[in-house]
């Protein structure tokens, strides 16, 4: 069974590279939406709201002839979403929260068209070794943390901080390949 040709509602280079690994034919249709959490919104609910919202925003910009894949990834510690760091102070605080402990990375994916929405949530536990002030400062100076949820990229220089993961590595990078493939196959099967 082949995959449907889709649109990817993302400007993420990592998501493009991961989707290409599946051999899916896709075009980009970046979609900007308001990503402000709602009052008392739980992290899992937040990420599962954003993925289909991004896909629908992409669909609204398209001619509607192809399904649109949206995804969102968040880093969660103690029930709190850790966003992209605005400055070194925020980054340092985030890294101190992650240092020497485990946290959750949640990635939601959604495939939508005018009639359907299939979606899935993937949660992965990531455990960091203890980080020194020098570790944190040196990592910040690389520039890598600036556009990353939770202030780090597991596929980049922060890999050296990771003692272990329990779950999907590709979900932590930004697109869970196993679950994305299953969503595409399910979509194709029920056309």
Cα dihedral 40/55/175/190 (nearest 10): 110
Closest CA to 92 of 64, 129, 133: 133
**Residue 83: CB partners within 8 Å, gap ≥ 6?**
149, 150
Whether 72 is a known active-site residue: answer yes
CA distance 30 to 61: 9
Q: How far is CA 14 from CA 37, 97, 174, 191, in A?
A: 24, 25, 7, 28
- Local structure of 80: helix, strand or coil: strand
- Of the CA atoms within 13 Å of residue 168, those in its CB half-sphere come to 20
* Strand pairing category for 26-28 and 6-8: parallel
Given its phi and psi angles, is residue 100 left (phi above 0), alpha (psi -120 to 50 degrees) or beta? left
CA distance 9 to 117: 14
Which of 34, 72, 87, 113 is the catalytic position?
72
The catalytic site residues sit at 72
């Amino acid at each position: 069974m082949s995959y449907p040709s889709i649109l990817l509602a993302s400007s993420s280079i990592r998501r493009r590279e991961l989707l290409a690994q599946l051999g899916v034919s896709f075009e980009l249709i970046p979609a900007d939406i308001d990503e402000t959490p709602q009052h008392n919104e739980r992290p899992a609910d937040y990420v599962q709201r954003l993925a289909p919202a991004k896909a629908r925003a992409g669909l609204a910009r398209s001619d509607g002839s192809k399904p649109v894949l949206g995804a969102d990834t968040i880093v969660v510690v103690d029930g709190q979403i850790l966003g992209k760091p605005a400055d070194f102070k925020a980054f340092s605080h985030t890294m101190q929260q992650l240092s020497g402990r485990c946290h959750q990375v949640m990635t939601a994916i959604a495939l939508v068209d005018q009639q359907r929405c299939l979606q899935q949530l993937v949660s992965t536990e990531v455990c960091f070794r203890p980080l020194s002030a020098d570790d944190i400062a040196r990592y910040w100076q690389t520039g890598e943390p600036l556009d990353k949820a939770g202030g780090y990229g597991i596929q980049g220089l922060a890999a050296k901080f990771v003692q272990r993961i329990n779950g999907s590595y590709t979900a932590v990078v930004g697109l869970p390949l196993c679950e994305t493939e299953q969503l595409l196959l399910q979509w194709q099967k029920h056309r």
